[in-house]
Every structure is written in structure tokens, then in C-alpha cells.
Amino acid sequence: MGILTLSAGSRKPNETMRILLTTFFGVVFGFLIGVSFPTLSLTKSNKSSGFFPVIDLAYSEGKSGSETVLSPLSSMKGKSSSSMQAPNSNDTSKIWVPSNPRGAERLPPGFVVAESDYYLRRLWGDPKEDLTSAPRYLVTFTVGYDQRKNIDACVKKFSENFTILLFHYDGRVSEWDEFEWSKNAIHVSARKQTKWWYAKRFLHPDIVAPYDYIFIWDEDLGVEHFNAEEYIKLVKKHGLEISQPGLEPNKGLTWQMTKRRGNSEVHKITEEKPGWCTDPHLPPCAAFVEIMAPVFSRDAWRCVWHMIQNDLVHGWGLDFALRKCIEPAHEKIGVVDSQWIVHQTIPSLGNQGESQDGKKPWQGVKERCRKEWTMFQNRLASAERTYFRTAGLAPPNSNGH
Ligand SMILES: *[C@@H]1O[C@H](CO)[C@@H](O)[C@H](O)[C@H]1NC(C)=O
Ligand SMILES: *[C@@H]1O[C@H](CO)[C@@H](O)[C@H](O)[C@H]1NC(C)=O
């Protein structure tokens, strides 16, 4: 897990690997119910029994028909499931339901709870009466305490129909209680991690299953002209599975696609500088949003979660690949113009790296971003080649990026 830190520098492994989950009013995960553990340490020794990799495998295998492509996964499965063989088929006194989620075959299907949520419950009374509301949308911010004023302003733009989930990268959690809403928010704390690191680990599709839309946002967005309920109305109206609010073009934005247009509700396609787009339906001319303020539908997120790599933490390149999860991508990925935000580009996590070889912390972070992008592209291209070769198919024209 050392590879998950921002730098392979001199920090002590134990310190690096400790993950603090802090909860208010009880529960972080439905399946980690426990009153008596305000902090939970995951260390190297119990990493292999972590639940996320297992869930991951279940999905990968369920979706693919090819054993060859998945050979590394298959061998891991062999190791972990030796006690999970189907019982003697004559023994009708035992339950065995192959269509249950993997690992739960011995349970009666009517009892299996395959999904959970972030709804906070109380410790007394009738469980049926715990929830006074069940928000249908989820918004997450990756935050440091220094940005609390901006996050407070952001949270106020999200109604009671949203579950608020904060990922803390600076270890300061309890101080947020100065805001009343913080007491009902979910707080996850792990030092110096990026939002894609948190998203992979704490936004598993089965955990966020009740939410129609999931906002995975940075902490430095200006939301004066944004209203979340209105935004969702537009996303539904225009059938957007992956979207972002338009960006006010105040400081040299990189992409035409994400710039706000004053005269429309939504746009899905744009023109870029000559030569930037090999195809008008491909990024960065269409089927493209940036990773600073994406909004995913439940189904889109179920796919994108599987695309996030455990060791690549900055998410560079992810925006160019999102289209692989959506068909047709140029119609279902778009930018909402009439609810828009300002990207304030406050250096935050970028300054949390470490100086190395005389380079400034942010330089090391930037270099790592680029390196990760290259690795991401190479892995994706290589996996696609393998897939088509194994399936005996000709690869399509791969002019994606
Ligand atoms: C199931 O029972 C039948 C008849 O009793 C027997 O012939 C067969 O070998 C049994 N199958 C297994 C897998 O034990
Ligand atoms: C919350 O959702 C309900 C049901 O969709 C809706 O009627 C209500 O207006 C929403 N609340 C706000 C503040 O928009």
C-alpha cells in the first residue's frame, strides 16, 4: 500500500498506511456496523482480507466470458475460494444458490442484502423508523480544513435530498463541527490522498447504490451560480449519464468542451483547435468532461468505478476514457451550461507532496500526474489489444486519443 502515497519518500510505513475512519452518529458502512470503533486501522497484515478487492473480482468475473483475459484474476480466485465449492448436489439439506452474489451462495436469496447506503441510523428504537429521509443523491468533496469556508458555501447549494460525504486529506475532522451540517455528514479521513483514491475505496457501487446521481467534486469550486436540484433536473431532461457544470472561462481553461455557454442549457459537442480532435464525436470535442467536478448516474458510476486503478491516484487520463462506459457517449456525456461553476484553482493537495531531488513538492506531484496518465493509457490500450486478440476479433480503429 506504500504505492498509494503521494511520494515514496521517508514517511514511516505505519503512519502512511493508517486509515482513519471517523464517523459521526454511528455508521460509515452498512456492513461495518459497530458502535465501538471511532477509529479503524487497516495495516499491511490485514490488507489481503480487505473486502474491496474481493468485491472487485466478483464483478470482473461476472461480466466477462473469457477466462484467458482474466487469468491473473482467476488464479487469485482459486486461492481465495477453496472452501466455497458447490456442495454435493445430492445434499438437499444445504442451501446453494449460484445466482447469489459470489461468496453468499450458502444463504437464502431472500435474506441476502447485496447493497448498502450511507444513511445514518440511530442506536435505539424501531429500525423501521430510523430514517426520516433517504436522500437520492450523493455529493462528495475532498477537503482540507483551510477550504472550509468554500465547502460550507458549496454544501449550502445542495438540498436535504443529498447525502454529504467529506474525504479529509489533512486529518482535521472534528473541527468541521463548527458547521451544523457537518454533524449529519459522513467523514472519511486518510492523510494526503486524492479524491480518486477515496472514490475507489469508499464509493463502491454496491455502497452508493441508492443514489441516482453521485457528485465527486474538488474543494476549490465557486458555486454562486449553481443549484444542485436544478442541475439534476437538466441532467435528467437531457439524458446525461456523465456530466459537469459549465466552467466560467475566467482563467485560461484547457478545454473548449467544459467552457460554459451563455445561451444554452446543455451542450454535448464542441470544436477544438485544429488537429486536436481526430473525430468530432471523441474527446476533447465530445464525450468528455473533466475530473474536477464530474457527476455520474448510478449506472455510469458502476462502470467508472471499475476503471479506476488502485495505484493511479490523480485520475489524469480518466476523463478521456470515461466514454468507454457509455453508449453512445457523445449523446450521454455533456456539460450543463445554465448551472455553472467557477474553477478557483487554489493550490491545495498539490502542495502536500514532498520535496525530492531539490524539486518543489508541486513539481513532483505534476510529474507523477503525467506518469500516471501514460501508465493508464498503456494499460487500457494493452488490455483492449489482448481482449480483441483473445476473442479472435479485429481491433476497431483506435483513434480515441
Ligand atoms: C447422488 O445420489 C445418487 C443415488 O443415490 C448416487 O448414485 C450418486 O453417486 C450421488 N451423487 C453424488 C455426487 O454423490
Ligand atoms: C427533494 O426531493 C423531492 C422529491 O423529488 C422534491 O419534491 C423536493 O422539492 C426536493 N427538495 C428541494 C429542496 O428541491
Tell me how far CA of residue 174 lies from CA of 35, 36, 178, 217, 304, in angstroms: 18, 17, 9, 21, 31
pLDDT in the model for residue 238: 98
Cβ burial 205-222 (10 Å sphere, 16+ → b, else e):
bbbbebbebbbbbbbbbb
CB distance 306 to 380 below 8 Å: no
Burial of 39 (0-12, 13-18, 19+ CB in 10 A): exposed
Residue nearest atom 12 of ligand 2, based on CA coordinates:
159
pLDDT tens for 219-252 read 999 999 999 999 999 999 999 999 999 998 766 6
CB distance 188 to 263 below 8 Å: no
Confidence of residue 37 (pLDDT cuts 50, 70, 90): very low
Residue 74 near ligand 2, beta carbon < 6 Å:
no
Long-range contacts of 110-113 (CB under 8 A, 24+ apart): 113/30
pLDDT of 386 higher than 70: yes
pLDDT of 399 higher than 50: no
Cα(161) to ligand 1 centroid in Å equals 56
C-alpha cell at 197: 483514491
Q: Which ligand is nearest to the CA of 158?
A: 2
pLDDT tens for 172-209 read 999 999 999 999 999 999 999 999 999 999 999 999 99
Q: How much of the chain, in percent, has pLDDT values that exceed 70?
A: 74
Return the ∠ at Cα 93 (arms to 91 and 97), rounded to 5°.
80
pLDDT in the model for residue 93: 84
Q: Which ligand is nearest to the CA of 135?
A: 2
For every residue of 311-338, DSSP letters joined together read S--S-TTHHHHGGGGSTTHHHHEEEEEE
Return the ∠ at Cα 247 (arms to 246 and 250), rounded to 5°.
150
Residues, the chain:
401
pLDDT in the model for residue 349: 63
- Please state whether the peptide bond connecting residue 245 to the residue before it is cis, i.e. omega within 30 degrees of 0: no
Residue nearest atom 13 of ligand 1, based on CA coordinates:
88
Confidence of residue 52 (pLDDT cuts 50, 70, 90): very low
Residue nearest atom 3 of ligand 2, based on CA coordinates:
161
Cα(97) to ligand 1 centroid in Å equals 20
pLDDT tens for 1-17 read 333 333 333 444 444 34
CB distance 164 to 145 below 8 Å: no
C-alpha cell at 319: 476523463
Atom nearest to 88 CA in ligand 1: 13
pLDDT tens for 285-324 read 999 999 999 999 999 999 999 999 999 999 999 999 999 9
Residue 310 near ligand 2, beta carbon < 6 Å:
no
Tell me how far CA of residue 343 lies from CA of 98, 131, 262, 292, 340, in angstroms: 49, 35, 17, 9, 10
Angle between helices 51-63 and 298-307 (to 10 degrees): 110
Cα(299) to ligand 2 centroid in Å equals 22
333-343 and 295-297 strand pairing: unpaired
Cα(88) to ligand 1 centroid in Å equals 9
Task: For ligand 1, pick from 90, 92, 94 the residue to mutate: most ligand atoms within 8 Å of CB.
Answer: 90
pLDDT tens for 74-101 read 444 444 444 567 776 677 888 999 999 9
Residue type, 74: S
Residues 100-117: what's their mean pLDDT? 95
Residue 161 near ligand 2, beta carbon < 6 Å:
yes
- The span from the CA of 7 to the CA of 267, in Å, is 39
Residue 36 near ligand 1, beta carbon < 6 Å:
no
- The span from the CA of 401 to the CA of 399, in Å, is 6
Mean pLDDT of the chain: 81
Task: Tell me the domain boundaries of the chain.
Answer: 134-345+356-386
Q: Which ligand is nearest to the CA of 232?
A: 2
Residue nearest atom 10 of ligand 1, based on CA coordinates:
90
pLDDT tens for 258-270 read 999 999 999 999 9
Residue 159 near ligand 2, beta carbon < 6 Å:
yes
Residue 230 near ligand 2, beta carbon < 6 Å:
no
Task: For ligand 2, pick from 138, 139, 159 the residue to mutate: most ligand atoms within 8 Å of CB.
Answer: 159
Return the ∠ at Cα 155 (arms to 153 and 158), rounded to 5°.
120
Confidence of residue 18 (pLDDT cuts 50, 70, 90): very low
Residue 229 near ligand 2, beta carbon < 6 Å:
yes
Cα(159) to ligand 2 centroid in Å equals 8
pLDDT in the model for residue 10: 40
pLDDT in the model for residue 25: 37
- The span from the CA of 242 to the CA of 299, in Å, is 10
- Give me the residue label for grid cell 436544478: 230
Give the right CATH number for 134-345+356-386 from 1.10.155, 1.10.287, 3.90.550, 1.10.3470: 3.90.550
Phi, psi torsion values for 143, nearest 5 degrees: -130, 150
Other beta carbons within 10 Å of 128: 6
Residue nearest atom 7 of ligand 1, based on CA coordinates:
90
Residue 88 near ligand 1, beta carbon < 6 Å:
yes
Other beta carbons within 10 Å of 254: 10
User: What is the pTM (predicted TM-score) of this model?
Assistant: 0.77
Cα(37) to ligand 2 centroid in Å equals 34
Confidence of residue 398 (pLDDT cuts 50, 70, 90): low
Confidence of residue 156 (pLDDT cuts 50, 70, 90): very high
pLDDT of 69 higher than 80: no
pLDDT in the model for residue 250: 64
Residue 90 near ligand 1, beta carbon < 6 Å:
yes
Q: Is the dihedral of CA 242, 248, 254, 259 positive or negative?
A: positive
Residues 138-166: what's their mean pLDDT? 96
More confident residue, 218 or 56: 218
